[in-house]
Homo-oligomer: A and B are copies of this chain.
Amino acid sequence: MRDLLPPGVALQGERGIAFVIAGPSGAGKSSVISALLARDPRLVFSVSVTTRPPRPHEVHGRDYYFVSAAEFDRLLAEGALLEWTEYQGHRYGTPKSEVVPRLEQGLDVVLNVEVRGALALKGAGLGHPVVLIFLVPPSWEELVRRVRGRGTEDEAALRERLRIARHELSCIPAFEYLVVNDELEKAVARVEAIIQAERMRVVRCA
């Protein structure tokens, strides 16, 4: 196919692309991302660093790097984070080391970040395309049901999550794609279509 392209033109998929998945609590980001990673060997997950305690079944180095507040401060001071945000009293950040070397190797990196973090990544000057995907449950009613069903928090924390969710939804216009997660399989196929399409985009080489 290369011999058909005029000089200075490439497919976006020939270089690494950052696919950022954000969305409110209950959108199902983790489940969708797990399924994506299991199916596509060109995708690697960017493990975020956080000061929040692990939930049951969460594994250090797989789901998050769980660190102390002092360790988080050190990473910040070293400039080791591409972006960071505070959410419900805990800090979350994206280590450069999880993203930049993989993109440079030509791998596509999937990130699960807060909405504000997604917008920060878009402006982070990565030198690689950053595709912002907003994942939502099929309705507000279903969002509330999923957040309640998780049952890991008291009523006040839950109300706070819903307030934050409503605010996050107001950021949808800053995203490129909106994916509805009504059924996991369908949502995964939708995100896969976006990934496939973005790889076929025509770009001018640097």
* Interface, chain A (partner B; CB < 8 A): 1, 3-6, 8-9, 11, 134, 136-140, 143, 169-170, 172-173, 175-180, 190, 192-194, 196-198, 200-202, 204
The answer to whether A190 touches B201 (Cβ under 8 A) is no
What would 8 more interface pairs be, CB under 8 Å, given A4-B140, A194-B200?
A3-B140, A4-B137, A6-B172, A11-B178, A177-B201, A178-B202, A196-B197, A197-B198
Q: Which of B6, B8, B177, B198 contacts A202 (CB under 8 A)?
A: B177
- Bound CA–CA A64/B173 (angstroms): 40
Q: How far is the CB of A128 from chain B (nearest CB, A)?
A: 19
Interface of chain A, helix or strand or loop or mixed? Answer: mixed
The answer to whether B134 touches A202 (Cβ under 8 A) is yes
14 CB contacts below 8 A, A to B, read A1-B138, A4-B137, A4-B143, A5-B178, A6-B172, A6-B173, A8-B173, A11-B178, A176-B202, A178-B200, A190-B196, A193-B200, A194-B196, A197-B197
Residues of B contacting A200 in the complex (Cβ-Cβ under 8 angstroms)? 177-179, 190, 193-194
The answer to whether A173 touches B9 (Cβ under 8 A) is yes
Task: Please give me the residue from chain B that is nearest to A23 by CB atom.
Answer: B4
Q: How far is the CB of A96 from chain B (nearest CB, A)?
A: 28
Q: How far is the CB of A13 from chain B (nearest CB, A)?
A: 10
